Chains A and B, each alone.
Chain A
Amino acid sequence: MTDIAASRSDSAPHGSADAVIHPAWVRVTHWINVLAMLIMIGSGWRIYDESPLFPFVIPFEITLGREFPGALLWHFAAMWLLAVNGIVYVTLGILSGRFRRKYFPIQPREVVADFGAALRGRLSHDDLTVYNAVQKLFYVGVIVASIVVILSGLSIWKPVQFQELTALFGGYDAARYVHFFAMAVIVGFLVVHIALAVLVPKSLRAMLRGR
């Protein structure tokens, strides 16, 4: 709880060595989410391979569970971890005011300017407590994609009991495509996110130690 309190001042002392960048609840839910996402994506790829939507399959070597029933067991176990952890993260993010403070407002003009700067390699990461407009868009985008992946997943899992939700996605077959594309958005985010964490190691340190 002291970490949540500390996070309220995280926009004040720029670059201060003592400022808490990520309170404990952010770090804990982040790393649980890493595990849940890896299991969901890895096992989901193996499930995709059983009846591919496109003329390609994911190499079995990089899927989880290897055998189809094993992948199903992993997928339908880790879904609880993903959903419960996600609900905790979003609830605390809203209640603590962190989402409002860190992610909003997102100005289209700033997104364009910051994106241009990022491409020229001129986007500064000196102050980890403040997100630039591209980061804001990315983080909000991946949260939305995660909500879509969970809801489309529910509609594929229960197209009779939750048929209203399935209909919202355009029916069972369409929901499978939505589920796939939401996964693709998340994986696309991960590629950029992990690459930048490696390029800016102190951001990784902040997600481990909090500052």
Chain B
Amino acid sequence: MARSSKPIPGVDAKYLVKQAGQLLPEPSRRIFLRGAAGVGAVALLGGCDIVDSESAENSLHVVSRFNDRVQAFIFSPTKLAPTYPDSAITRPFPFNAYYPLEDAPEIDAVDYALNVGGLVSEKKAWTLDELYALPQEKQVTRHVCVQGWSAIGSWTGCPLRHFLRRIGADTRAKYVWFRCAEGYTNTIDMATALHPQTQMTFKFENDILPRAYGFPMKIRMPTKLGFKNPKYVVAMEVTNEDRGGYWENQNYNWFSGL
């Protein structure tokens, strides 16, 4: 949820090639448009007509899916994200979402329940007290936003893989899906869900997770871009169905690993 600017779908290939051509001086422009674009675009776009914006966009999505597979391949289930001393923590740690802070969900701790379902042996709603009783670990890791900026935060909570074992999750399933109080959803791969640093986070530094960072629970994944780290999580399902997610459905890369 590390995005603030408005997403507008679509890539206009016609406009884009025109712009590319205009970067060049006149004599080479014709050569670029006629020659290089002809040869290169065919290689890049699999033979489709580059002026057809829809097929150009579809081709880019094919490459993005390919990049998902490449990222899953290079993802190491044991390699840990670098950790930092407390002195490296970014203060104040930025709030970032597709809405202003005053519109962030306000969750009542007493009424809160985490609904756990899907391919698990123990389907139930967990209260906050039950969640707080889970074994917890602290990590100081870097949050990297798809926009490029990064910030170091201190997160404390229960390793998700411990919780998945506890609820009897089928860890051979492909995905874990999350739903959040503001309507944000997100699907992650099981390998990342089982990574030692993937955490159900209840605290930032020594304080109960503040509303700005996702009270009462966020899922912290230092191996994924910020927007893949859901906040205000109210439901979790183990599934074999890729249900996409809020940003993934708006042209952002699905795997978004770091």
Q: Which residues of A contact B (CB under 8 A)?
A: 28, 31-32, 34-36, 38-39, 42, 47-48, 50-51, 61-70, 72-74, 76-78, 80-81, 156, 158-161, 163, 172-173, 176, 194-195, 197-198, 201, 204, 208
Which residue in A73, A176, A208 is a CB contact (below 8 Å) of B64? A73
Q: List 28 A-B contacts (CB under 8 A).
A: A31-B39, A32-B36, A32-B39, A32-B40, A42-B16, A42-B23, A50-B5, A61-B19, A62-B19, A64-B16, A64-B20, A67-B11, A68-B5, A68-B147, A69-B7, A69-B9, A70-B251, A73-B11, A76-B253, A77-B44, A77-B59, A77-B63, A161-B76, A172-B142, A194-B28, A197-B28, A201-B27, A204-B31
B12 within 8 A of A: yes
Name the A residues within 8 Å of B91 (CB-CB).
Answer: none
Q: Which of B26-40 contact A (CB under 8 A)?
A: 27-28, 31-32, 35-37, 39-40
**In whole angstroms, what is the CA distance A73 to B59 when docked?**
10
Question: Are the CB atoms of A51 and B148 closer together than 8 Å?
Answer: yes
Name the B residues within 8 Å of A195 (CB-CB).
Answer: 25
Give a binary string over B1-21; 1 marks a CB under 8 Å from any A CB, 0 the rest: 000010111111001100110
Which residue in B28, B79, B145 is a CB contact (below 8 Å) of A51? B145
Question: Are the CB atoms of B40 and A204 closer together than 8 Å?
Answer: no
**In whole angstroms, what is the CA distance A96 to B144 when docked?**
42
Name the A residues within 8 Å of B148 (CB-CB).
Answer: 47-48, 50-51, 156, 176
Which residue in B11, B22, B44 is a CB contact (below 8 Å) of A66? B11
Name the A residues within 8 Å of B75 (CB-CB).
Answer: 161
Question: Are the CB atoms of A31 and B36 closer together than 8 Å?
Answer: yes
> How many chain B residues have a CB neighbour from A under 8 Å?
57
Question: Are the CB atoms of A160 and B258 closer together than 8 Å?
Answer: yes
Which residue of A is nearest B146, CB measured?
A72
| Shortest beta-carbon distance from A160 to chain B in Å | 4
| Shortest beta-carbon distance from B205 to chain A in Å | 21
| Shortest beta-carbon distance from A187 to chain B in Å | 10
**In whole angstroms, what is the CA distance A50 to B227 when docked?**
14
Question: Are the CB atoms of B64 and A161 closer together than 8 Å?
Answer: no
Question: Are the CB atoms of A198 and B31 closer together than 8 Å?
Answer: no
B229 within 8 A of A: no
In the complex with contacts A159-B142, A160-B222, A204-B28, A35-B40 CB distance below 8 A:
yes
Instruction: Rank and list the top 4 A-B pairs by shortest CB-CB distance, nearest first.
Output: A35-B40, A70-B11, A69-B251, A51-B148
**In whole angstroms, what is the CA distance A92 to B76 when docked?**
33
Question: Are the CB atoms of A161 and B39 closer together than 8 Å?
Answer: no
**In whole angstroms, what is the CA distance A163 to B25 when docked?**
40
| Shortest beta-carbon distance from B151 to chain A in Å | 10
Name the A residues within 8 Å of B136 (CB-CB).
Answer: none
Name the A residues within 8 Å of B59 (CB-CB).
Answer: 77
| Shortest beta-carbon distance from A144 to chain B in Å | 23
Question: Are the CB atoms of B64 and A64 closer together than 8 Å?
Answer: no
Which residue in B19, B37, B82 is a CB contact (below 8 Å) of A64? B19
**In whole angstroms, what is the CA distance A31 to B11 when docked?**
23
In the complex with contacts A32-B36, A204-B27, A161-B79 CB distance below 8 A:
yes
**In whole angstroms, what is the CA distance A32 to B144 when docked?**
32
Name the B residues within 8 Å of A201 (CB-CB).
Answer: 27
Question: Are the CB atoms of B40 and A36 closer together than 8 Å?
Answer: yes
Q: Which of B65-91 contact A (CB under 8 A)?
A: 67, 74-76, 79-82
Question: Are the CB atoms of B223 and A78 closer together than 8 Å?
Answer: no
Question: Are the CB atoms of B67 and A38 closer together than 8 Å?
Answer: no
Question: Are the CB atoms of A80 and B63 closer together than 8 Å?
Answer: yes
B43 within 8 A of A: yes
| Shortest beta-carbon distance from B258 to chain A in Å | 4
**In whole angstroms, what is the CA distance A77 to B74 when docked?**
17
Name the A residues within 8 Å of B250 (CB-CB).
Answer: 69
**In whole angstroms, what is the CA distance A80 to B62 when docked?**
13
Question: Are the CB atoms of A31 and B35 closer together than 8 Å?
Answer: yes
Name the A residues within 8 Å of B145 (CB-CB).
Answer: 51
**In whole angstroms, what is the CA distance A34 to B39 when docked?**
11
Question: Are the CB atoms of B142 and A38 closer together than 8 Å?
Answer: no
Name the A residues within 8 Å of B82 (CB-CB).
Answer: 159-160, 163
Which residue of B is nearest A70, CB measured?
B11
| Shortest beta-carbon distance from A186 to chain B in Å | 13
Name the B residues within 8 Å of A76 (CB-CB).
Answer: 63-64, 67, 253
**In whole angstroms, what is the CA distance A172 to B59 when docked?**
30
